[in-house]
Chains A and B, each alone.
Chain A
Amino acid sequence: MSDDIYREIILDHYRNPRNKGKLENANVTVHDSNPLCGDEIDIHLKVNDGVISDVKFEGKGCAISQASASMLTELVMGKDLNVVKDLKKEEILENIGLTNLGPARIKCALLALKVLKVGMIKYYSENDPSSAEQVKNESSLY
């Protein structure tokens, strides 16, 4: 139960978030919040030649939402957009080791991914409309 959720690694990412802060000259900045919890995440992306060359996040909220955002930035840093655009929610939950969350808390865990996907839609809609459509169609996270 809670001991399985709030493991060392979650608490570590919650208290010492990686890649947290603003990103100067980001190509894309997206904000979203979870109205239920009030969790908030901003994601800044710097894209070079189809690769996420830098990513940072800002936010406040519960340990799950903030640790999940921190771990997501590590996961996508330096990755090809084509790889990132196919990221599935199951992979994210597995990556942070939270596969048993109930319907309310799963939204906390997936908020960062939702924001990232919205950021990618925003990026693609200027550069690659068909990929934007693809991400849009596959992004029904909840």
Chain B
Amino acid sequence: MQRSIVNSYELRNDFPIFKKKINGKDLVYLDNASTTQKPYSVINSITDFYSNYNSNIHRAVYQLAEEATELYEQSRKKIANFINVRPEEIIFTRNTTESINLIAHSWARSNLKKDDVIAITEIEHHSNIVPWQILCQEIGTRLDYVGIDESGFLDVEYLIELISSRKIKLVSISHMSNVLGTIVPIERIIKTAHQYDIPVIVDGAQSVPHMSVDAKNLDCDFLVFSAHKMLGPTGVGVLYAKKEFLEKMKPFISGGDMIKEVFKFHTNYNEVPYKFEAGTPNIADVVGFGAAVDYLEKIGMENIRKHEIYLTEYALESMQSLKYITIYGPMDSKFRGGVISFNIADIHPHDLATIMNDHGIAIRSGHHCAQVLMQRLDVPATSRASFYIYNTKEEIDKFVNAIKEAGRIFKI
């Protein structure tokens, strides 16, 4: 088994929430695919912003506003650098969902037409399904789904076939499944799609926080992700798009700050990225997001990935020995992020999560905003444990013991 060089025991001291007790027990937080905990450096940067720099950005000429603008734009640079793109290609949104909606509204609506086919997959989160369904209803485009096999791997050959037969006009695809943990070989998909001039949207909500993602090298046309899944605050998402796309795209939300000049009956829009950031943005939380990226870079994304491989392998090995367990998704951690969905005997995931809570363990139960995938797996729900830098081997032991305890309570 691979070793981890991340000292998660020491790291935990950076996160105030781990001082909290749940039912008298230490919190074991295993719902990181949903949202992550925040280190002091992120919390403090937000407090520091409101205490020392609070003012609106991009307009006023007094010193405070210049400092606030500088902090906000510094964050943009940090995030651009983090995924290796230019700062003007980073748009701040509220979350991944809003970023995909922005693309559907501002790019797809004017570049696709009736009967054009959009390829998505059975592993998508609802945020990469519903905006396309709405677009299809409105302009008559159609959806085609790329399926998965029994081990949770995507049918990449089918997608390649769709692309090379020129049957589709857009690919929108998750980089890592939030349920199965499956890592999708997007390099090959993007390369093939570009041979046929088909743009590719990558949903990086699960990948960007957990592994090194170089958008320039990948050459994806769009990449979307959320700050709160990578130690940052809620309410901040990112849309990366190649500048040539952004420049041709129409605004999404319109009003203040996205304009150059407004006349009575027409407006000239601001340049990118500002054209897509109407109204006062979430300034303090964007600044907090910058602090989160600093924290992650200090540890190193390669090290984070290694730590999660280590935890995932240990958890899979421990769980496989349990009676009546079904584990979904690839069993090889090379192809899987730190996300494990499973079911055990006839214990419903919500009952399991209730029992876990007795032990201070937070796991997710339900459909994980992926009902299309649940239908494919033919289950109403799964339980899901997902890991991050602060999780330890001992926590996985507690988690596995709690599954055994559930078995005792349910008399299986």
Q: Which residues of A contact B (CB under 8 A)?
A: 1-3, 5-6, 11, 14-15, 36-40, 60-64, 105, 108
Contact = CB atoms under 8 A, between A and B. Distances in A.
Contacts of B354: 2, 5, 105
B409 A6 contact: yes
B351 A64 contact: yes
A2 B409 contact: yes
A38 B410 contact: no
B366 interface: yes
**Most chain A beta-carbon contacts within 10 A, residue among B23, B354, B366:** B354
Given A2-B358, A5-B354, A37-B366, A61 B410 contact: no
Contact of A105 (B350, B366, B380, B406): B350
B233 to A, nearest CB: 24
Contact of B350 (A3, A15, A40, A62): A62
A37 B381 contact: yes
A61 B358 contact: no
Contacts of B365: 37
29 contacts: A1-B23, A2-B355, A2-B358, A2-B406, A2-B409, A3-B409, A6-B351, A6-B409, A6-B410, A11-B410, A15-B346, A37-B366, A37-B381, A38-B367, A38-B381, A39-B350, A40-B380, A60-B380, A61-B348, A62-B348, A62-B350, A62-B351, A63-B348, A63-B351, A63-B410, A64-B350, A64-B351, A105-B350, A105-B354
A5 B348 CA distance: 14
Interface of B: 23, 346-351, 354-355, 358, 365-367, 380-381, 406, 409-411
A11 B365 CA distance: 19
Contacts of B366: 36-38
Given A38-B366, A38-B380, A11 B411 contact: yes
Given A37-B366, A38-B380, 13 more contacts: A2-B354, A2-B358, A5-B354, A11-B411, A14-B346, A37-B350, A38-B381, A62-B348, A62-B351, A63-B347, A63-B348, A63-B351, A63-B410
A110 to B, nearest CB: 14
A60 B347 CA distance: 12
A81 B349 CA distance: 35
A70 to B, nearest CB: 14
A14 B350 CA distance: 14
In the complex, the 5 A-B pairs of residues with the closest C-beta atoms, listed nearest first: A62-B348, A62-B350, A2-B355, A1-B358, A63-B351
A90 B190 CA distance: 57
Contacts of A60: 380
A2 to B, nearest CB: 4
A40 B367 CA distance: 14
Contacts of B23: 1
A63 B348 CA distance: 7
A36 B350 CA distance: 10
Nearest to A7: B409
Contacts of B350: 37, 39, 61-62, 64, 105, 108
B392 to A, nearest CB: 24
A60 B366 CA distance: 13
B348 to A, nearest CB: 4
Nearest to B406: A2
A126 B381 CA distance: 37
A15 B347 CA distance: 10
A39 B381 CA distance: 10
Contacts of A62: 348-351
A63 B365 CA distance: 14
Contacts of B367: 38
Nearest to B380: A38
A64 B367 CA distance: 18
Contacts of B380: 38, 40, 60-61
A106 to B, nearest CB: 12
Nearest to A37: B350
Nearest to A105: B354
Contacts of A61: 348, 350, 380
Contacts of B348: 61-63
Nearest to A60: B380
A94 to B, nearest CB: 20
A32 B166 CA distance: 43
Contacts of A38: 366-367, 380-381
Nearest to A15: B346
A123 to B, nearest CB: 29
A72 B349 CA distance: 23
Nearest to B409: A6
Nearest to B350: A62
A1 B358 CA distance: 7
Contacts of B346: 14-15
A119 B406 CA distance: 35
B399 to A, nearest CB: 15
A13 B410 CA distance: 12
Contacts of B406: 2
A1 B24 CA distance: 12
Contacts of A36: 366
